[in-house]
Homo-oligomer: A and B are copies of this chain.
Amino acid sequence: MADSTPSPALQLGNQLCFAVYAATHAFTRVYKPLLEPLGLTYPQYLVLLLLWERDDRSVKELGEPLFLDSGTLTPLLKRMEASGYVTRRRDPTDERTVRVSLAAKGRALREKAPAIPEALFCASGLSVEQLASLRRAITEVSGRLRESAKEGPASPVRQKPSRGRAPAPARMRRPR
């Protein structure tokens, strides 16, 4: 057997996720040599982009646009704090939330940062219009997926609750 054309729409779904996955790595490889001398990784740079746009955000507010949770961001932000790009402190009005702000080094970097997206623009060899429409299309898809994720799977599927994780024996929280 082995059907020859399983349906254009289904082929497309796989090709698309494949292409996006590969594109992320392609972008990472363009940015990495530029970020390395700054002591930044690619996700750390994306966090800086968010803070340049609007400073002083909670961890949750940083994770939402990137589809990341606190488990990923906490150690990442601690490293950024250690390298002097941001500061972390508890919100006085709600001790549960940690607010992340730009430190001097993070603000200063903003001035020389334009060289970084410029490299991507040159390497892509595409016009501003092409890149703009591509960005719009990708953002559109992400938005749709985000919405339908909230309302549960749109297809006849279901989610298994467990998969064997691990205990969490100890805690230590903020010494105060």
Interchain CB contact under 8 A, A12 and B128: yes
**Complex: how many Å from CA A156 to CA B118?**
10
Q: Are A142 and B14 in contact (CB under 8 A)?
A: no
Count class of interface residues, chain A: 35 or more
Set B12, B23, B43: member contacting A131, Cβ < 8 A: B12
A103 close to chain B: CB less than 8 A: no
Chain A positions within 8 Å of B, measured between CB atoms, are 2, 6-27, 29-31, 33-34, 36-37, 42-43, 46, 49, 65-68, 110, 114-126, 128, 130-135, 137-142, 144-146, 148-149, 153-160, 163
**Other CB < 8 Å A-B pairs besides A18-B49, A21-B42, A33-B158, 9 of them?**
A6-B114, A14-B117, A17-B120, A18-B46, A20-B23, A29-B145, A36-B159, A124-B141, A125-B144
A-B contact list, 13 entries, CB within 8 Å: A10-B114, A16-B135, A19-B138, A22-B142, A23-B145, A24-B24, A26-B141, A27-B145, A29-B145, A30-B145, A30-B149, A33-B157, A125-B144
